């Protein structure tokens, strides 16, 4: 019996080490693979009560150019903290790359818009750089839910959230996707016109 317990303890320890290795070192969030795995569990389990959110920091390059890369890193870290607090302990939050974040949470339809408004307000708060300076931050947010988009597939929900995010770019509002956003042409799961899609072939 002690050998079995020791083996289980070793297995848990290895899993935790692997999970830590897959996390983004700056923000502590899941990377794309870890986030996708956890997010898919939420969408599969909760169906229409799942909500997928994508968020991009607007003018992030300008923050780096004006205040320095340390300030940019601080903005990324604080944005990650705010998104994690909003999502709660049972949500999945990840940094997909650069200044792009994602979250998948369980939120019923009656509370979606209120919770998205709360998220937009939280992410728009200035960031304290820790040296007396405050940096104004603007974040574009798109969200998608199975009952408004017509699919429980995580990739489809993310494509719709991506399209909604860009439809509301620089508005300061979180946009909830509908079926029209789900129909926006995409390449490799990303809305046509996004950086990195222009060189690919036909839309999917």
Helix axis angle, 69-87 to 60-67, nearest 10°: 140
Q: What is the DSSP letter of 177?
A: P
d(CA 182, CA 49): 18
Looking at 24, 56, 99, 162, which residue is catalytic? 99
For residue 58, count CB atoms less than 10 angstroms from its CB and return exposed for 0-12, middle for 13-18, buried for 19 or more: middle
The Cβ of residue 118 has, within 10 Å, a number of other Cβ atoms equal to: 13
The H-or-E segment that residue 5 falls in is helix 2-22
Instruction: Kindly write down the DSSP assignment for every residue of 11-31, as one continuous string.
Output: HHHHHHHHHHHHB-TTT--B-
Q: Up-side HSE of residue 194: CA atoms within 13 Å toward CB?
A: 20
Residue written as token pair 């899993």: 15
99 is known as an active-site residue: yes
Catalytic residues, by residue number, are 99
């Amino acid at each position: 019996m002690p050998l079995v317990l020791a083996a289980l303890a070793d297995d848990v320890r290895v899993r935790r080490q692997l999970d830590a290795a897959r996390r983004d070192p700056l923000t502590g969030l899941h990377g794309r693979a870890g986030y996708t795995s956890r997010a898919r569990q939420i969408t599969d389990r909760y169906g229409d009560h799942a909500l997928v959110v994508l968020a991009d920091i607007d003018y992030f390059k300008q923050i780096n150019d004006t205040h320095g890369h340390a300030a940019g890193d601080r903005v990324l870290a604080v944005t990650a903290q705010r998104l994690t607090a909003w999502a709660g302990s049972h949500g999945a939050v990840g940094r997909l790359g650069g200044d792009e974040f994602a979250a998948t949470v369980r939120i019923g339809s009656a509370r979606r818009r209120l919770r998205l408004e709360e998220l937009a307000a939280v992410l728009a708060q200035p960031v304290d750089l820790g040296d007396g300076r405050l940096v104004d931050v603007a974040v574009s947010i798109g969200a998608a839910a199975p009952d408004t988009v017509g699919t429980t597939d995580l990739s489809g929900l993310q494509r719709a959230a991506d399209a909604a995010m860009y439809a509301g770019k620089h508005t300061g509002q979180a946009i909830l996707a509908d079926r029209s956003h789900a129909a926006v042409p995409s390449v490799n799961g990303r809305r046509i016109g996004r950086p990195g899609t222009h060189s690919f072939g036909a839309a999917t």
